Structure 1
Amino acid sequence: MKKLKVGTRGSKLATTQTRQALDVFQSYFPDVEVELVKIKTKGDHLATHNLQSIGGQGCFVRELEYQLRAGNIDFAIHSLKDIPTDIHDELTLACVMKRHSPTDALLIKEAGVRLETLPKNAVVGTSSLRRKAQLLHVRPDFDIQPIRGNIDTRIRKMNEGQYDAIVLALAGLERLGLDQTVYHQELPPQVMLPAIGQGALALECRKDNTEVLSMIKKMEHAPTEIAVTAERAFLGSLDGSCTFPVGAYCQSKGNTFELTGMIGSENGQIILKETMKGNDPIVLGKTVAAKMVKQGAITLIEECKNDQKETFIY
């Protein structure tokens, strides 16, 4: 087979996790040559802008999807949490790989400091509305300030004293080996429900590229695929974007799956949660979403979006 071109964002984390995924790919297909194509996305170009103002997490994948549809790359490797629930008709998520840690981590400068023991009114860096809402629910005194940039940049800003702590996905720390060198506290789902699909990598390609589709399908991890399908069905039933405080986590429980969904107000005063079990991931996700709608989820989502509109009128 000819050489395959694989698209990725150019950040250190994106290229590292892409290379880790390609190591698995080449264990199946050692004779296939792969070329890494680094693509700058809107989210990378506008690195200082508020995520919600430039389209939420989807801003990190649209350019890769354009290059896929144009035939300039054969498949793309994404963090699944960056992919909106609705993708272009010509494309498909061909494979979801085994999930790394789905949880978030609180990074601090000194060993021994924890979420509960950070000083009153501590400045905590995150641009995620999901993290902000859940942090303020536990510690309403926190001063939550936005932070963008790659992981190294964020850690440097914290070490320089701009923040008392920052929150990052634990999987990112692990993939870069930073979980061994940076003081951090893992935040369990009971405290901080993760983003939809957090910790999982997804491989996306064109539906008509059947040869590549069949190759990368070999890397699929079925339990992860079922879990993230439930999480994405939950999100898709509500709005499909991550431009409001929303989280979900699905895990296998014996012979079935358990999904917990969360929607909150940005100030953390209201956190709605629902947990259910089921065998069909799409039905499970939709059912949890329907239960949360009855609790008032749509009102919360609309209030959050209206607040954002007011914030982004210049």
Structure 2
Amino acid sequence: MSAHPITQSGGRGLLDRYVDQVLPERKLRLATRTSPMARAQADHVARLLTAVLPDLTVDIVGIETSGDRWQGDLAQLGGKGAFLKEIDRALVTGMADAAVHCLKDVPGDIPLPPGLVFAAYLPRQDVRDVAVFRTGSPYHDLADLPPGTRVGTSSVRRKAQLLRWRPDLAIERIRGNVNSRLARLDSDGKVEALVLNASGLARIGGAGDRAVQLLDTDMMCPAIGAGVLAIQCSDRDTGIVELIRTLDDPDTRLHVTAERAMLRGLQGHCNSPIAGYCTTTADGQLSLIGMVFTREGGQFVYTHEWDTPGRARELGEYVAAVLNRKGAQDIIAGSPH
């Protein structure tokens, strides 16, 4: 999807007419999960939409998903899709007009429900992970932690890469929204540090007075879609699609198209430690790194490939094929669903 023609031509009148077809009262219902981070993301999108159409009213529709309620292994609920199905249902049934998702939480092995599209990917924010240390910790760097120190994460991707770098650490599974995980970091004393997404942490106002270590992408390759907010809606509602498309960032769309094509080609599930990161080089080429790990990080396959911007999907498919030739499917098959 290229840059939006309305924003290129300045055709506000055309956009107004599109929106009036489906939102004559100028009120849009924006669905989101109910965590503080999700609400902050939805509020951000609402501000962007009202900047495009100042007379638009955006009502935030909070939806508690089965993934939010469940505190066990997500695989038992079918993986990350447990965070989406209730929101998808709200869009399909007309209870909401659009929805905001963290793209890294959208599964790559499950197609979107028929009729739903991602009409906009917002400009990508920080893709890096961060280590957040408990209040009062004497440590400020994961490299300084003594052997056997417990570090918490909810991500198999992070666990695999932490153990590849520091196999002597004890990685503890900690779920829940970021606010609750930060509270538990200080209250229960079970772990010395958490590893979280940098842009997500920033959306809730940061880590307070705790020490934070940014982890570069060479040490911790990002999740597919890291740092990207995606806005979903029904493709039947032309006016809503056109409105949301004004927020679409063409570079981000190219990058996530490549990453998610790679993810689809690997057919990984929520317990597959897969990492991928696409960028644009100084000479305008697309660069895509793909990695697949065993759960304990002892084995991994890696490739780094390049292609032209017009071949983002083909680049992702090629990287998946290279990883599969190197044994990615055997590694994924060994990761329990």
Question: Which bracket does the TM-score occupy, shorter chain normalised?
Answer: over 0.9
1:18 aligns with 2:42: yes
SS in 2 for 1:304: coil
SS in 1 for 2:81: helix
Separation in 1 of the partners of 2:298 and 2:45?
40
Query: 1:51: Cα distance to partner?
Result: 2.0
SS in 1 for 2:263: helix
SS in 1 for 2:142: coil
Contact 2:139 2:145 in 1 (8 A): no
Contact 1:50 1:127 in 2 (8 A): no
Residues 285-296 of structure 1 aligned to structure 2 (within 5 Å): 285-296=316-327
SS in 1 for 2:334: helix
Query: 1:126: Cα distance to partner?
Result: 1.1
SS in 1 for 2:296: coil
Q: Match for residue 301 of structure 1?
A: 332
Match of 2:238 among 188, 210, 223: 210
Residues 44-63 of structure 1 aligned to structure 2 (within 5 Å): 44-46=68-70, 48-63=71-86
Query: 1:113: Cα distance to partner?
Result: 2.1
Separation in 2 of the partners of 1:127 and 1:179?
17
Q: Match for residue 197 of structure 1?
A: 225
Contact 2:268 2:274 in 1 (8 A): no
Q: Match for residue 65 of structure 1?
A: 88
SS in 2 for 1:219: coil
User: TM-score if structure 1 supplies the norm length?
Assistant: 0.94
Match of 2:300 among 271, 274, 280: 271
Q: Match for residue 114 of structure 2?
A: 89
Structure 1 unaligned residues grouped into runs of 5+:
309-314
Q: Match for residue 247 of structure 2?
A: 219
SS in 2 for 1:274: strand
Structure 2 unaligned residues grouped into runs of 5+:
1-23
**Deviant stretches of 4+, over 4 Å:** none
Contact 2:104 2:224 in 1 (8 A): yes
Match of 2:170 among 134, 143, 155: 143
Amino acid at match of 2:107: P
**Distance change in 2, residues 1:94/1:241 (3 Å):** farther
Residues 99-178 of structure 1 aligned to structure 2 (within 5 Å): 99-109=124-134, 110=137, 113-160=140-187, 161-178=189-206
Match of 2:210 among 156, 175, 182: 182
Contact 2:268 2:332 in 1 (8 A): no
**Deviates most, 6-15 or 21-30:** 21-30
Contact 2:151 2:172 in 1 (8 A): yes
Match of 1:5 among 10, 21, 29: 29
SS in 2 for 1:174: helix
- Greater C-alpha Rg: 2
Separation in 2 of the partners of 1:111 and 1:66?
47
Contact 1:134 1:271 in 2 (8 A): no
Contact 1:137 1:271 in 2 (8 A): no
Separation in 1 of the partners of 2:206 and 2:138?
15
Amino acid at match of 1:10: T
**Deviates most, 153-162 or 97-106:** 153-162
**Deviates most, 16-25 or 238-247:** 238-247
SS in 2 for 1:288: helix
Match of 2:285 among 215, 238, 256: 256
Match of 1:242 among 258, 265, 270: 270
Count of residue correspondences: 305
Separation in 2 of the partners of 1:111 and 1:203?
41
Separation in 2 of the partners of 1:181 and 1:60?
30
Separation in 2 of the partners of 1:52 and 1:125?
19
Deviations 1:101-137 (A, max 9, x none): 0111111133752121111111111121111111100
Q: Match for residue 311 of structure 1?
A: none
